[in-house]
Structure 1
Amino acid sequence: MPPHCDSLDGPVVTAARKALEERDIGQVLPYVSEEGEADVREAFGLTVRARMLGQEAQEVADRWFFETVVRVHRSGEGAPFTGLKPAGLNVGPVIPAAERALDAGSADELTGVLCGIIRKQVEERHDRAMALKEHATEGVAATRAYVEASLGLQVWAHHLYKQAIAVPHAPTRRS
């Protein structure tokens, strides 16, 4: 997914910002694994103290805390931390639709968005394969192009199926 958990307006930084504003570490702990909780608690304590040293210290401390929380969050997902991303990035249509679905308590919009995207992709990939099939008897190169398109459709559909039935997103558990 184009995760936006590492952006300044994503859910992790939003929770971290709220934790600092309310001085309530509990606002952000659900976004990190149990293994990373101690790091986040330590960073929270240091940040709260540093915020009392003036506006510049607060800005530096807040940024460091956001980076720490996102790094620990990403680690819990088994993903690398590549820095904070700016707010307002285009994450495509699916993440905003998923967020609205969670806010609204209905999956209808998200289902419609996903089904529309999949339908369009299936039709485009199928149409391409069918167009190439018409010329598949015109030699090895034409047959090869058809085979690549048809196998491409099948492999893409299989990967989509496997992703659709995969275990829901969950932090990686370490022994």
Structure 2
Amino acid sequence: MKRKTILINILLLSAITAITTLGVCGIASAHFDALDGPIVQDVRKALDTKDATPILKWVKQEDETTVREAFVRALHARNKKNAEEAEKWFYAKIIKVHLAGREVPFTGLKPEGQTDPVIAVIDQALASGSPDALLKHFIEDITHGIRKRYEIVEAAYRQKDESVAQGRAFVEIYIDFIHYMTGLKRTDAG
């Protein structure tokens, strides 16, 4: 029974590590291609003021002409029957150009309200001018993550000498824990 618990813990820890690592790219692009994301907010501001400047920061300099031409088309289309469609086309155009500049594929506009909570806290902190909410969020999450992983590795540590299988299970959990902790430290080091 103990061996089964240790093996389940190994699988859980490995899955958490894999999901965390692989999910980062998708989370970030989902923020940029969302209808409530920062690019669309700046596109709306540009269209409302009839000034492309707010959106140019999102694209590389070599793409500026393409964006300015699309901007003019979007402004003209805004006064026609399909204004809403034209605006969505323009949102998608700017996001595609932005993501292409980062070598990230565009998979379509995402609906509002699906932004990852971490990104929402980052944006709120920037808007407020204070990192306090951001620090609180990360300190709580990191503390929880370390405690959870520590409990798993500590339980395996206590049983590591009971059998070769439990010793091997400990080694796997221990190595995953070391990778997690050193990864946190490397991230912290910038």
Q: Same fold (TM over 0.5)?
A: yes
Q: Which stretches in structure 1 are left out of the alignment for 5+ residues?
A: 167-175
Distance 1:29 1:39 in 2: 11
The residue correspondences of 1:19-168 to structure 2 (distance < 5 A) are 19-54=46-81, 57-92=82-117, 94-166=118-190
The 2-side partners of 1:165 and 1:44 are apart by 41
Structure with higher RCO (Cα < 8 A, 6+ apart)? 2
Identity of aligned residues (%): 35
Runs of 4+ in structure 1 off by over 6 angstroms are: none
Once residues 129 and 42 of structure 2 are traced to their aligned partners in structure 1, the CA distance between those partners, rounded to angstroms, is 20
Give the structure with the larger helix fraction. Answer: 2
TM-score normalized with structure 1 length: 0.85
Q: Is the 8 A contact 2:34 2:115 kept in 1?
A: no
Q: Offset at 1:90?
A: 4.5
Q: 1:50 deviation in Å?
A: 1.9
CA-CA distance at 1:160 after TM superposition: 2.5
Q: Which consecutive residues of structure 2, in runs of 5 or more, have no partner in the other structure?
A: 1-23
Distance in 1 between residues matched to 2:76 and 2:33, nearest whole Å: 24
Aligned partner of residue 57 in structure 2, secondary structure: helix
| Amino acid paired to 1:80 | P
Counterpart CA distance in 2 for 1:164 and 1:78 is 26
User: Which stretch of the first structure deviates more once superposed, 61-70 or 137-146?
Assistant: 137-146
